[in-house]
Amino acid sequence: MAAPAPIRLLAGPAAARHIAAQGLKPADIAAVAGAAGGPKGLALLPLDRWLFGHWLADCPRERWLAGASIGAWRMAAGAQRKPLPALDRLAQAYLEGQRYPRKPSAALVSQVCRDMTRELIGHDAAAFLAGVAPGRRLQVVTARGLAPASAPARIAFGRAALANAVSRAHLGSHLQRVVFCADGRTDASVGGASGHGHGHGTGSGSGCPALPDDAFDSRSVALRADNLEDALLASGSIPLVAEAVAGVAGAPAGRYWDGGLIDYHLHWRWQALPGIVLMPHFLPAVTAGWLDKFLPWRRHGLGRAGRGWLDNLLLVTPSPTLLARLPNRKLPDRQDFFRYDTDHDARLRDWRRAMAECAAMAEAFAAWVERPERLVVEPLPG
């Protein structure tokens, strides 16, 4: 009897039909999506190394790499011509850089995260942007606060949370989706703020066609050497934990926050892309916004409003069997900073062990694409 697989595969109807008929090849992948999730992203880095460093490396088709928070950092590394050194820098910075004292200030957390961002970029933003591989369309997702600059962050965030509890659409009055874009062209770092309209305004052809037509005003801004660091930092700046990022070059004025506030798991109109959208993920479901995870009735998609958007999505998630092997029987997460307190060595020991165990995800996925009959593809909930 075969051992239980370390991964689960969940697919929308169109993705499931394609896989059943043709299997899955690198040329089928139109986009890779990176969900927000903090330390949980560490568990996906071994799979990222195989995807970007091997399986997708030599496939020349245009491919969108979109992410929020840790997902944006993973996608920025994966978009490089040389993704493996960039992914290694991300892992090293994320593991070793976060040795906080008890109850660190938001200013300290922001400085630590800025240092990690600089380690990922390699201290040369222009070279990092020039290193984006041809055909790779990088999308770094942020949330721009619409409250007056004079409003304290705690009050502005509290009002946004209350509005979202009433309706996700109401959150659009408090936050704007701003996506920073680059691609593997020589002019990728040229441009400024662009976009217009409610829902899916984009400019210069850089915004992903899958951006939702929803309650959020969406803008695209060109990634440049003078805003790359701020954009990546903002994408992971959690309100009340870190400080907002202000004064982002080439972007509308305002305070920029974690992209996961609006696009936690990137519940976008992925059906607009010609091909399969691959999401290495932490969970067997897609939750639209970070605040929605606290609302049981919104944890699985958008219901009728987003019907069909995920038809071509394929999730790759850790199985219960794999999770049972991990320290504390779970993926690394932000609660570990409280669980381990200032015992950083113990936390890092267990995080590294989790990453090592999660290498089995890459091995299982690689085996599956060679022989798709090895695993049953489950329907995506929602």
What is the residue-wise DSSP string for 94-116? HHHS--PPSS--HHHHHHHHHHH
**Residue 28 corresponds to which tokens in the numbers above?**
């089928």
What amino acid occupies position 124?
A: D
Residue 277 belongs to a domain: yes
Residue 228 belongs to a domain: yes
What are 203's two structure tokens?
């400019």
Mean pLDDT of 110-133: 96
Q: Is the pLDDT of residue 367 over 70?
A: yes
Flag whether 371 is in a domain: yes
178 in a structural domain? yes
Top pLDDT among 70 and 196 is at 70
Q: Is residue 18 part of a domain?
A: yes
Which is more confident, 302 or 169? 169
Where helices occur in 190-275 by DSSP H, the ranges are 228-235, 260-263
How many Cα atoms within 13 Å fall on the side-chain side of residue 145? 29
Distance CA 364, CA 63 (A): 23
Q: Is residue 11 part of a domain?
A: yes
DSSP designation for 274: S
**Per-residue pLDDT, 199:** 44
When divided into structural domains, the chain yields a total of 1
Residue 330: which of 265, 281, 282 has the closest Cα?
282
Q: How confident is the model at residue 140 (pLDDT cuts 50, 70, 90)?
A: very high
Q: Which range of residues forms the domain containing residue 171?
A: 7-379
Residues 6+ apart with CB under 8 A from 190: 222, 224
Q: Residue 1 domain-assigned?
A: no
Give residue 151's pLDDT.
87
Residue 235 counted as domain residue? yes
Cβ-contact 190, 248 below 8 angstroms: no
CA distance readout (Å), 173 to 70, 115, 160: 25, 32, 8
pLDDT over 70 at 237, yes or no: yes
What is the percent of the chain where pLDDT is above 90?
A: 83
